[in-house]
Chains A and B, each alone.
Chain A
Amino acid sequence: MFRSHVLAAALAAALAAALALSACAPSIPVQSAQLLPLTSTQPRMRLTQNVVLKLSTGYSRRLASGSLWRPVGQVPQGLVLQPVGTVLTIEGRQVHEAYLVVSQNAVVGFYLPGESRFSPLAPSQPIKIEGIND
């Protein structure tokens, strides 16, 4: 009797572990977005503080102090900044290349250049960023 209870508990634990492992991350939230490219070259920008962005999918992304960003356009939600010399991705069920979208010194979401979509970041995350003269 005792043995059968132990076996059942072990099977239940194994099943729970298998389900947990197979649990899919949720998809990232997206909205359609039209990028308006900047008509002139803008000065690059430098992050002056480390920032950790927590995504609604459970993943997070760390932006390093000193990382460089190039303004490439505008979406209704804010200014679009492309990383310089590296890549940024956001992840849910799938992985998406992402540019930052900033407004009023805060990251409000991501522009997905491979899909022409906007993914909001909630809540938005304040950042400290400065323009640099090349």
Chain B
Amino acid sequence: MTKLFRALAVCAFVAVTASGCASGPEYKDVASSIPTMKDAQGRVYFYRSGSMFGAALQPEIKLNDQVVGKSQPGGFFFVDELAGQYVVSTSTETEKSVTFHLDAGETKYVKTSVGLGLLVGRIVPTLESPDDAAKHLDGLHFTGAPVTAASK
């Protein structure tokens, strides 16, 4: 009976973890085909490490209250927006937001990570430097809309 329970637990864990990870192409495979920004626009990258801690938490990410994607372990995506003031938030138990200004031609990087909440974990967005983001993006998978060279 104990063996059966253990086997079921392992299966459940594998199923949860396998379904929790981002599965698109890696950053290094799509980096060259990511389109250039239009004039007057800036770019915001969103990414999350591949850590399985809190992998079941995959809330929507909102930019100025508009859903732009999901926080998925090991995933990244980007959006191009007009220069201006922005708020990034996620829809978990408690809301932690980050505010920033985006200039035309500028690229900002927002990392989402798992934080502790009262009853369940929560996803916390933070603003990262380009150098820190570059270290993490390489191994991550693209979870946005497909990009092609034709869209440049």
Contacts and interface: CB of A to CB of B under 8 A. Distances in A.
A46 interface: no
B96 A95 contact: yes
Interface of B, helix, strand, loop or mixed by DSSP: strand
Nearest to B99: A114
Contact of B101 (A24, A93, A94, A114): A114
B117 A22 contact: yes
B98 A89 contact: yes
Contacts of B87: 114
B98 A94 contact: yes
B96 A94 contact: yes
B131 A94 contact: no
Nearest to B118: A22
Contacts, number: 53
B85 interface: yes
B101 to A, nearest CB: 4
A94 B97 CA distance: 5
A115 interface: yes
Contacts of B116: 21
A58 interface: no
Interface string B52-94: 0000000000000000000000000000000001110000001
Contact of A115 (B85, B127, B129, B130): B85
B130 to A, nearest CB: 7
Contacts of A22: 117-118
A18 B98 contact: no
B117 A113 contact: no
Given A95-B125, A95-B126, A113-B85, A18 B118 contact: yes
Contacts of B126: 89, 95
* Chain A: interface size category: 10 to 19
A100 interface: no
Interface string B95-129: 01111110000001000000011100000011111
Interface of B: 85-87, 94, 96-101, 108, 116-118, 125-131
Given A22-B117, A87-B128, A112-B99, 7 more contacts: A21-B118, A87-B127, A87-B129, A89-B98, A89-B126, A89-B127, A95-B127
27 contacts: A18-B118, A21-B118, A22-B118, A85-B131, A86-B130, A87-B127, A87-B128, A87-B129, A89-B127, A93-B96, A94-B96, A94-B97, A94-B98, A94-B99, A95-B96, A95-B97, A95-B98, A95-B127, A96-B98, A96-B99, A96-B100, A97-B99, A97-B101, A97-B127, A114-B86, A114-B100, A114-B101
